[in-house]
Amino acid sequence: MTDVLKILAVQFNPVVGDINGNAKLAREALEAGARDEADLVVFSEMFILGYPPEDLVLKPSAVELSMKAVADLAKESADLPAFIIGSPWAEDGELYNSELFCRDGAIEARYDKQELPNYGVFDEQRLFTKGKSPACIVEVKGVKIGLAICEDVWFDRVPNAAKAAGAELLVIPNGSPWRRSIHTERAEAFDRWSRLGLPYLFVNQVGGQDELIFDGASYATNTVHAERCGLVGQFETGTAIVEFDLATRKLRLPDGGCELDPDGWHMEYRAAMLALGDYVNKNRFPGVVLGMSGGIDSALTAAIAVDALGPDRVWCVMMPSKYTSSDSLEDAKRCAEALGVRYDIINIAPGVGAMDEMLDELFSGKESDTTEENIQSRLRGVTLMALSNKFGHMVVTTGNKSEMAVGYATLYGDMCGGYNALKDFYKTEVFELSRWRNMNLPEGALGPSGEVIPERIITKPPSAELREDQKDEDSLPSYNDLDDILRGLVDDEADIDDILARGHDEATVRRIEHLLYIAEYKRRQAPPGVKVGGKNFGRDRRYPITNRFRDD
């Protein structure tokens, strides 16, 4: 067909630092583009090195090898479609976040990112130099294409410059991480320049990278974000052909567009599932091992792990003490059987007895307190790490955001591990996500359908079971109240007065604020976990450990 410009949008899952592997993926996509008779192939931001590269781009060899990979790819692809690919680029002592336009065996043009994000999880201003020109136009099949990179279109300066330079179509490679508000945020930002009437193609990467998860959600639209046509899908890899009509100078889209999934529990679960799976697979672990307590956090973590990796790669271990209830033993076993995982029981009572004997002389005359509780938790951590060292499985921790916020987690105990799938989910969200999973099988899940988390695990009062008849609410407010207070303190950075206006008890709010601040040293030593909300405990929130501030 000669009446259209055919563009292959590539929504792939590159691995940070795997320059050769990412270049191989690019070659495969270019060959697919040739088979589809594409005129242009578009890759995501920083595709060759992977995004976000963080301080890896401060390593000169990483940048040099990335640049060489692009040059080699261009040379080797002389008989393949033209393409746009992202890479770091060094020139005259400056380092840029760039995209390269390659055709006929050569790099014909380079666009350097203008808007360098420096908020939340982003830190680009300390790494890259801002591009010198907001407009870069390349021409393919008579169509003038303006180039932009991710953050460039969250403001209107670059789109305005592209339009003024004659662009008929805007192509936007992205490394835009997912969070539960992302569709709304993108719509509000991109609609600021919809008045330009400029058709555009949004190509985003997909997959997990440490605490970030990328949803893909690549789409095409002729001007309005609300009428976007989803191309590959969300949390999926793949390619899609987009056609630009040479007569109408518009993208050819189905009537009414192609809807992307709205945010909801299904998206949050898939985000956690893909993030954990990619962390395990990209770091080449054979599987995961976790402590199965009979509680809701470990049950949901096990379900996510099974859905991400398959039951044969998940190992659940119940480690009872004298305080473990028969209900917990039954519930843990039932959950493991429902998920189809390997399940073992290792009694920590002998280890607790050995520790009691070791410390008896020094602890003589002292009342039992959290010290003895923490010994149990730490013995479980030591046990799981021993299994990890011996068999190679990565330990997955199971704490939620509520616990991490107020320090109700044991350093070198239940915090011990390599990744935490629930790190950014408050306890009330853990309950909701568990109920949702029992009623739904997520797309792409490798686990079974049906009730995988026994109902009693969801309905019984939460307890760490580290002392007789212990309940979480013995020392914390109800999770409904606690989570609302924490959303104010953490997500909203609200003042105490604003939180009190919601109807909370002042003494409780001030106590929770105090617990939040004094637990910072624990969170600094916690494993990474997927970001799903507006502000996670990680790069989003960087509070000092030594900190006497209280909102008085």
Q: Give the CA distances from residue 194 to residues 158, 204, 481, in Å, rounded to whole numbers and listed in that order.
A: 13, 19, 42
Rounded percentage of the chain residues whose pLDDT exceeds 90: 79
Model confidence over 267-279: pLDDT tens digits?
999 999 999 999 9
Strands in 175-280 per DSSP E: 200-204, 206-209, 212-215, 219-221, 229-230, 238-245, 250-251
- At 466, the pLDDT band (50, 70, 90 cuts) reads low
SS3 396: strand
Q: Is the pLDDT of residue 474 over 70?
A: no
Tens of pLDDT, residue by residue over 295-313, are 999 999 999 999 999 999 9
* Residues contacting 542, CB < 8 A, separation 6+: none
The mean pLDDT of 386-412, rounded to a whole number, is: 94
pLDDT classification of 259: cutoffs 50, 70, 90: confident
Beta strands per DSSP E along 20-62: 40-42
Question: What region does 343 belong to: left with phi over 0, alpha with psi -120 to 50, or beta?
Answer: beta
Residue type at 343 in one-letter notation: Y
pLDDT in tens, 420-455: 999 999 999 999 999 999 999 999 999 999 999 999
- At 353, the pLDDT band (50, 70, 90 cuts) reads very high
Task: Find out whether 268 is annotated in a ligand binding site.
Answer: no
d(CA 20, CA 11) in angstroms, rounded, equals: 18
Q: Does the annotation flag 295 for ligand binding?
A: yes
> Which pLDDT score is estimated for 324?
86
Would the annotation count 398 as a binding residue? yes
What would the pLDDT profile of 213-222 be if each residue is shown by its tens digit?
999 999 999 8
Is 239 annotated in a binding site? The answer is no
388 annotated as belonging to a binding site for a ligand: no
Segment 316-332 mean pLDDT: 92
How many helices (H) and strands (E) the chain has is answered by 16, 20
**480 neighbors 473 (Cβ within 8 angstroms):** no
Q: Residue 2's pLDDT is what?
A: 67
Burial 84-110 (b: 16+ CB within 10 A, else e): bbbbbbbeeeebbbbbbbbbeeebeeb
Tell whether residue 18 is among the known ligand binding residues.
no
Give 475's pLDDT tier (boundaries 50, 70, 90): confident
Mean pLDDT to the nearest integer, 195-222: 94
- pLDDT value at residue 212: 94
Please tell me the distance from the alpha carbon of residue 177 to that of residue 54, in angstroms, as a whole number. 14
Label residue 472 by pLDDT band (50, 70, 90): low
Q: Is 444 annotated as a binding residue?
A: no
Would you say 296 is a known binding-site residue? yes
Residue 257 scores a pLDDT above 70: no
Neighbours of 245 (CB within 10 A): 14
Give the integer Cα–Cα distance in Å for 527 and 414: 11
Cβ–Cβ under 8 Å, residues 200 and 192: no
Q: Which residues pair with 211 in a beta bridge?
A: none
pTM: 0.93
Query: Tokens for 531?
Result: 């970001």
Q: What is the mean pLDDT of residues 107-125?
A: 91
Say what the pLDDT of residue 464 is.
64
DSSP 117-152: --STT--GGGT-PPPS-S--EEEETTEEEEE--GGG
Q: Are strands 137-140 and 143-147 parallel, antiparallel or unpaired?
A: antiparallel
Does 292 appear as a known binding residue? yes
Active site residues: 45, 113, 150
pLDDT score of 208: 96
What is the overall mean pLDDT for the chain?
Answer: 93
CA distances from 253 to 229, 241, 259, 283 (A): 7, 11, 12, 39
Q: Which residue has the tokens 């969801």?
A: 458
> pLDDT, tens digit, for every residue of 241-253?
999 999 999 999 8
CB atoms within 10 A of CB 468: 7
Q: Is 374 annotated as a binding residue?
A: yes
Q: Whose structure tokens read 């400056």?
A: 94
- Span 456-469, average pLDDT: 76
Kindly report, residue by residue over 20-31, the tens digit of the pLDDT.
999 999 999 999
Q: What is the pLDDT of residue 7?
A: 97
In this structure, what token pair is assigned to residue 228? 């976007």
Look at residue 317 and give its three-state secondary structure.
Answer: strand
Q: Which long-range contacts (CB under 8 A, 24 or more apart) does 549-552 make?
A: 549/517, 550/510, 550/513, 550/514, 550/517, 551/495, 551/496, 551/513
Backbone angles phi, psi at 74, to 5 degrees: -60, -45
- Among 440, 446, 463, 436, CA closest to 298: 463
Please report the pLDDT score of residue 470 as a whole number.
62
**Each residue's pLDDT tens digit, 121-145:** 888 989 999 999 999 999 999 999 9
Output the CA–CA distances (angstroms, integers) from residue 369 to 172, 363, 366, 522, in the order listed.
Answer: 57, 11, 9, 19
Does 403 show up as a binding residue in the annotation?
yes
Check whether 304 is labelled as a binding-site residue: no
What distance in Å separates the CA atoms of residue 423 and residue 250, rounded to the nearest whole number?
44
Under the banding of pLDDT at 50, 70 and 90, the label for residue 469 is low
pLDDT tens track for 357-381: 999 899 998 988 889 889 999 999 9
Enumerate the β-bridge partners of residue 146: 137, 170
